[in-house]
Amino acid sequence: MNEQTLSEAIEAVLVARNPRNMAIAREALAPGYYLRAARALRDLNGPVLIGTGFPVDDTFETDGPVGAIALYKGLAALGAKPVMACAAPLADALAQDYKILKLACNNPEQAEWEAGEWLAANQPLAVISIERPGVTADGHYYNMRGEDISRLCGIFDPFLTRATCPTIAIGDGGNEIGMGKIDSAIASLDIRAAVTSCDELLVADVSNWGAYGLLAFLGLWAERDLLGEFSPLDTLRYLSARGSVDGVTRKNTLTEDGMAATEGDAVIHQLRRLTGFHNP
């Protein structure tokens, strides 16, 4: 199949379960969005900023960091220089093993300035947001339950809105950075929708899985089985040991959005079959 057809197949796989109505969001996007986003990440040899981390009480959820780590490792393997942006406690949990930009500012004006300074100094070749809270029309941040989590977030939105490089956002519910791109299409969803947009919005049933859609293309082009090299379960174990919780159950389990790790494995197997790295 050609690349456009492959992208549309990937897009279908990633919203097939549809627990949070991302099939509706998919209909609002021009087909081929995974292909377009992956092209923006192809053959990069400089800085790439990956923002992730959704706060749950005093810790962080598993959805987002798993995919961010997968992207970080995949991009690094292909020659890019990834940096992960996240707030405490996730930033501290990952600092020993990954290059981290700690997001500590919750003042919008200050955050705008800090983002501008970092972007100017580091000149990233792409900025990616995966399961990062997005600001709403009232200037606050909310979780899927409608609870105001503004004080816990660490603002990341300006890194996308002020960037001059391609910006990519991955979400699975409507309250994440990037969802402002399809605000009218998700207006009917039971969510406090985010207003921040991006160049390419990627939707998936679990945001982690959106990272796998990008890696499917990057691995195909590089003739390297990047998805086969990554283990969601091992990454969940790594995060669990550092205090992660499932964003739906709020329990420290090896799950993502209430789904067993085997679901993520199944998605990876489907993507590897589509790209020729795994036979049925």
CATH number at residue 146: 3.90.1640.20
Whether 279 is in a domain gets the answer no
User: Would 247 be classed as within a structural domain?
Assistant: yes
Q: ω into residue 55 within 30 of 0, thus cis? A: no
Inside any domain, residue 196: yes
Cα–Cα distance measured from residue 169 to residue 50, given in angstroms and rounded to the nearest whole number: 10
Residue 280 located in a structural domain: no
Mean pLDDT of 74-79: 98
Q: What is the pLDDT of residue 190?
A: 86
Is residue 203 situated within a structural domain?
A: yes
C-alpha to C-alpha distance for 175 and 189, rounded to whole angstroms: 10
Residue 11 placed within a domain: yes
pLDDT band at 271 (very low <50, low <70, confident <90, very high): very high
Residue among 148, 154, 143 at smallest CA distance from 51: 154
224: containing domain? 3-274
Please report whether residue 117 resides in a domain: yes
Answer whether residue 279 shows pLDDT above 80. no
| pLDDT, tens digit, 9 for 90 and up, residues 133-158 | 999 999 999 998 999 999 999 999 99
- Whether 36 is covered by a domain: the verdict is yes
Query: Does the predicted TM-score (pTM) go above 0.95?
Result: yes
Tokens in use for 243?
């205090």
Contact predicate 119/159, CB 8 Å: yes
Mean pLDDT, rounded, for 19-47? 95
Domain count, the chain: 1
